[in-house]
Amino acid sequence: LSLHDALPICDAVQRAITEILRHEDPSHPFSDQQLVIKLRTMDISVSRRTVTKYRKLLHIPSSTHRKHT
């Protein structure tokens, strides 16, 4: 896998994370580990650390900071 091939994969993972979070319940936001599980159902296998890295790159706060009561 070359760097050129990896860029679209990174974009796809970031788009998937954004789409999942768009539909989350604001009172029960998904943790990074829950995002890993949801991504696996979409045949995207990444680690929690990778999800955290992409979430931060997208300027999306952690689940604790996204929670609205």
Residues 6+ apart with CB under 8 A from 54: 10, 13, 14, 17
Separation in Å, CA 47 to CA 17, 18, 26, 40, 68:
13, 16, 23, 10, 26
For residues 33 and 4, the model is more confident at: 33
pLDDT of 37 strictly over 90: yes
pTM value?
A: 0.86
